[in-house]
Amino acid sequence: MASALGGVRDMRRDGVLTQNLVFGMFYRMPPVACPMGWSALLRSLGGRIRADEAYGFSTGQGALRWAFGVLAQASPERSTVILPAWTCWSVAAAVEYAGLRIALVDLDPATLDFEPAALAERVGPDTLAIVSTHLLGRRPDLTSHARLAAAAGAWLVEDAAQAQDPRAGPAPGVAVRMTSTARGKPLSTSGGGWLQVGLAGPVGAFARAWPNVPPAARGGEAIRAAKAVLVDGLLHPRAFWLPARLPFLGIGRTRWPDRIEVRAASRQQQRLYPVLAAGMDRLLAGRRIAALAYADALAGLPGPQPGGCDIPDYAPHRYPVMLTVPWLDAAPRVRARAAQAGVCGLYPRALSELEQVRALRVDGDAPMPGAERIARHLVTLPTHAGVGPRERERALASIGEFSP
Whether residue 379 sits in one domain with residue 333: yes
Structural domain boundaries enclosing 339: 2-35+230-254+275-399
Whether residue 181 sits in one domain with residue 66: yes
Which domain-ending residue is among 179, 212, 245?
Answer: 212
Q: Is the pLDDT of residue 22 over 60?
A: no
Please indicate whether residue 191 or residue 86 has the higher confidence score (pLDDT): 86
Please indicate whether residue 7 or residue 198 has the higher confidence score (pLDDT): 198
How many domains does the chain divide into? Answer: 2
Give the domain CATH number at 322: 3.90.1150.10
Q: Is the pLDDT of residue 79 over 70?
A: yes
The pLDDT of residue 159: 97
Helix (H, G, I), strand (E, B) or coil at 43: helix
Residue 43 — very low, low, confident or very high, per pLDDT cuts 50/70/90?
A: confident
Residue 366 — very low, low, confident or very high, per pLDDT cuts 50/70/90?
A: confident
Residue 145 lies in a domain: yes
Residue 133 lies in a domain: yes
The pLDDT of residue 386: 81
Residue 268 lies in a domain: no
Give residue-wise pLDDT tens across range 252-278: 777 888 899 999 998 888 888 888 888
CB 10 within 8 A of CB 336: yes
Whether residue 69 sits in one domain with residue 23: no
Q: What is the mean pLDDT of residues 394-401?
A: 88
Q: Is the dihedral of CA 161, 164, 167, 172 positive or negative?
A: negative
Whether residue 75 sits in one domain with residue 29: no
Residue 262 lies in a domain: no
Whether residue 132 sits in one domain with residue 24: no
Whether residue 235 sits in one domain with residue 199: no
Residue 265 lies in a domain: no
Q: What CA–CA distance (Å, rounded) separates 178 from 196?
A: 7
Residue 30 lies in a domain: yes
**Residue type for 37, please?**
G
The pLDDT of residue 90: 95
* Distances, alpha carbon 2 to alpha carbons 5, 8, 22, 26, in Å: 5, 12, 10, 13
Q: What is the mean pLDDT of residues 274-299?
A: 88
Residue 70 lies in a domain: yes
Residue 182 — very low, low, confident or very high, per pLDDT cuts 50/70/90?
A: confident
Give residue-wise pLDDT tens across range 135-180: 999 999 999 999 999 999 999 999 999 998 888 889 999 999 999 9
Whole-number mean pLDDT of the chain? 84
Q: Is the pLDDT of residue 397 over 50?
A: yes
Whether residue 87 sits in one domain with residue 192: yes
Whether residue 84 sits in one domain with residue 199: yes
Whether residue 6 sits in one domain with residue 112: no
Half-sphere CA count of 392, side-chain side, radius 13 A: 21
Residue 219 lies in a domain: no
Whether residue 90 sits in one domain with residue 14: no
Whether residue 241 sits in one domain with residue 122: no
Q: What CA–CA distance (Å, rounded) separates 297 from 283?
A: 22
Whether residue 61 sits in one domain with residue 23: no
Backbone angles phi, psi at 314, to 5 degrees: -70, 130
Residues of 10-43 as b/e, b for ≥16 C-beta within 10 angstroms? eeeeeeeeebeeebbbebbbbbbbbbbeeebbeb
Q: Is the pLDDT of residue 4 over 70?
A: no
Q: What is the mean pLDDT of residues 120-124?
A: 96
